[in-house]
Amino acid sequence: MTSQDWIARGDQHIARTYARYPLVAVKGEGCRLWDADGKCYLDFLAGVAVNNLGHCHPKVVAALQEQAARLLHCSNYFHIPSQIELAELLCEHSFGDRVFFCNSGAEANEAAMKLVRKYSAERFGADRFEVITALASFHGRTIGTISATGQDKVKVGFAPMVPGFRYVPFGDAAALRAAVNEHTCAVLLEPVQGEGGVNVPPSGYLAEVRRICNECNLLLVYDEVQVGCGRTGELFAYQHEGVAPDIMTLAKALAGGPPIGAMVATEPVAEYFGPGSHGSTFGGNPLMTTAALAAMRALIEDGVLENCRAMGDYLRRRLEERRQRFPFIKEVRGRGLILGMELSISGGDIVQQALQQGLLINCTAGTVLRFLPPLTVTQAEIDEALAILDAILDRI
């Protein structure tokens, strides 16, 4: 069946919640993706930072195949060995003491927002429930997480929002401090904003936010759904500045492709989630946690983080060279292999032209080309992608 045949069938019954590109994906391997017509694409989107190990990483595939033959699902009323091992691994390599498992980043952020409110209500009273988040942030698509998100476009048509959120400019510690009042219970930030335009905060910002939280008895939550699991060159993005939160949320790349989410917390905070306070039917099931174990071990043990740092530096240097050549490129920014190239023109047409030429990237915030290749990407693959990009930029 051709791509057009599949697209025509999908148009009949699939909800129109995505402005999909005319690509029908049927196979992936490493940094390559193939469509139903056999065309090969160089994938510098990586499932929007999900396929950090590339498509169909052999260790993740093998783990899924073996576990699928043993046990797909059982209730969280029972103990699950792979869930226990994954929680141990995440806590060993982070600030955390306990982990709650779910299925997505939005669910992880919902869990975090419930936990900060419960912690604050029981310690300080019910009037402390507000969470400060950042403008241009993105925390998910549920009613709760779009309420937390500092972008109006995701809220259109869904009013009223969940009350209890205040928004401040990202990277502005003084504005954050000024926003704290008697109702504030927590601060929720992405250490690097992804959907908001690949925005990196100034040096020292996270440390100042941590000081404000300590002084005001607020919890600090990092949303690392997109930038965690090696994307920035460290296992977790907060580790670049060594400023630990009280809670961290993960999803996207945690299992190398299959869906899973997690909320990691310190013991003094996690203890406020007692039996019956929260749950998830599928969260932490044997299949997904086994895949996540394989993915996380590959990240930690197979030199993936080192490659991410090296290739991230290389790609950034090469993009900076283009900034010198093309006057409509305003800035290149990011960390590791989440890089944004801000333009003075719309980036949507460039994305479409790149797709036609066999390169998958995307545009966020209207004018920021976002590069999210697998962390296993090679220098030759980067050069190939840049050759495609150059041809498009030259025409502009």
Overall pTM > 0.85: yes
Catalytic residue among 223, 236, 273, 371: 223
Catalytic residue among 44, 100, 138, 170: 138
Element (H, E) at 362: strand 362-364
Which residues constitute the domain of residue 36? Answer: 3-56+303-395
The confidence score (pLDDT) of residue 33 equals 98
Using the 3D structure, point to which of 301, 329, 363 is the last residue of a domain. 301
Q: Does a cis peptide bond (omega within 30 degrees of 0) precede residue 160?
A: yes
The confidence score (pLDDT) of residue 224 equals 98
Say if residue 97 is in the same domain as residue 24. no
The confidence score (pLDDT) of residue 301 equals 97
- Cβ-contact 273, 118 below 8 angstroms: yes
Residues 6+ apart with CB under 8 A from 7: 22, 24
Relative to beta strand 165-168, strand 130-134 is parallel
- Could you give the strand order of the β-sheet that contains 359-360, starting from the edge strand earlier in sequence? 25-29, 32-35, 40-43, 359-360
Say if residue 149 is in the same domain as residue 252. yes
Nearest to 212 by CA among 241, 249, 239, 175: 175
List the pLDDT tens digit at each of the 396 positions of the chain: 999 999 999 999 999 999 999 999 999 999 999 999 999 999 999 999 999 999 999 999 999 999 999 999 999 999 999 999 999 999 999 999 999 999 999 999 999 999 999 999 999 999 999 999 999 999 999 999 999 999 999 999 999 999 999 999 999 999 999 999 999 999 999 999 999 999 999 999 999 999 999 999 999 999 999 999 999 999 999 999 999 999 999 999 999 999 999 999 999 999 999 999 999 999 999 999 999 999 999 999 999 999 999 999 999 999 999 999 999 999 999 999 999 999 999 999 999 999 999 999 999 999 999 999 999 999 999 999 999 999 999 999
Nearest to 173 by CA among 119, 220, 127: 220
Using the 3D structure, point to which of 267, 283, 301 is the last residue of a domain. 301
Say if residue 188 is in the same domain as residue 310. no
Q: Which two tokens stand for residue 73?
A: 């699902």
Catalytic residue among 101, 118, 236, 252: 252
Report the number of secondary-structure helices (H) and strands (E) in the chain: 13, 15
* DSSP characters over 236-292: SGGGGTT---SEEEE-GGGGSSS--EEEEE-HHHHTTS-TTS---SSTT-HHHHHHH
Residues 6+ apart with CB under 8 A from 80: 74, 284, 285, 286, 289
Say if residue 152 is in the same domain as residue 211. yes
Say if residue 48 is in the same domain as residue 66. no
Domain tally for the chain? Answer: 2
How confident is the model over 325-379, as pLDDT tens digits? 999 999 999 999 999 999 999 999 999 999 999 999 999 999 999 999 999 999 9
| C-alpha Rg value of the chain to the nearest Å | 21
* Catalytic annotation present for 27: no
Say if residue 211 is in the same domain as residue 140. yes
